Amino acid sequence: MTTPLLTERHGPVTLLTLSAPMLRNALSDAMMLALADALREADADPAVCCVVLTGDPAGKAFSSGGNLREMTEGASRMFDPAPVVAQEGYRSLVQQIPLAFEAIDVPVIAAVNGPAIGAGLDITTMCDIRLASPAARFAESFVKVGLVSGDGGAWFLQRAIGYGRAIELALTAEMFDADQAQAIGLVSRVVPAEELVPEALALGARIAANPREAVRLTKRLFRHGRSATLQQSLDHGAALQAIAQTTADHREAVAAMLEKRPPRLTGR
Type of residue found at 179: D
Structural domain boundaries in the chain: 5-208, 212-258
Average per-residue pLDDT for the chain = 94
DSSP-assigned beta bridge partners for residue 17:
6, 54
Q: How many CB atoms lie within 10 A of CB 72?
A: 9
| pLDDT band at residue 267 under the 50/70/90 scheme | confident
Helices in 128-211 by DSSP H: which ranges? 153-161, 163-172, 178-183, 196-208
pLDDT tens, position by position, 176-215: 999 999 999 999 999 999 999 999 999 999 999 999 999 9
Alpha-carbon distance of 64 to 62, in angstroms, equals 7
Alpha-carbon distance of 228 to 234, in angstroms, equals 9
Count Cβ atoms within 10 A of the Cβ of residue 77 and give its class: 0-12 exposed, 13-18 middle, 19 or more buried: middle
Half-sphere exposure of 238 (CA within 13 A, CB side): 5
pLDDT tens, position by position, 143-186: 999 999 999 999 999 999 999 999 999 999 999 999 999 999 99
pLDDT at 91 over 70: yes
Alpha-carbon distance of 217 to 234, in angstroms, equals 14
Mean pLDDT of 210-223: 95
| pLDDT band at residue 258 under the 50/70/90 scheme | very high
Does the domain at 5-208 match CATH 3.65.10.10? Answer given as: no
pLDDT at 1 over 70: no
The residue ranges of DSSP E strands in the chain, in sequence order, are 5-10, 13-18, 50-55, 108-112, 116-117, 129-132, 137-139, 176-177, 189-190
Which range among 8-12, 133-137, 264-268 shows the weakest confidence by mean pLDDT?
A: 264-268
Mean pLDDT of 97-126: 97
Closest Cα to residue 223, out of 128, 129, 153, 150? Answer: 128
- Report the C-alpha dihedral over residues 66, 149, 98, 88, rounded to 10 degrees: -80
Q: How many CB atoms lie within 10 A of CB 202?
A: 14
Contact 34, 4 (CB under 8 A): yes
| pLDDT band at residue 229 under the 50/70/90 scheme | very high
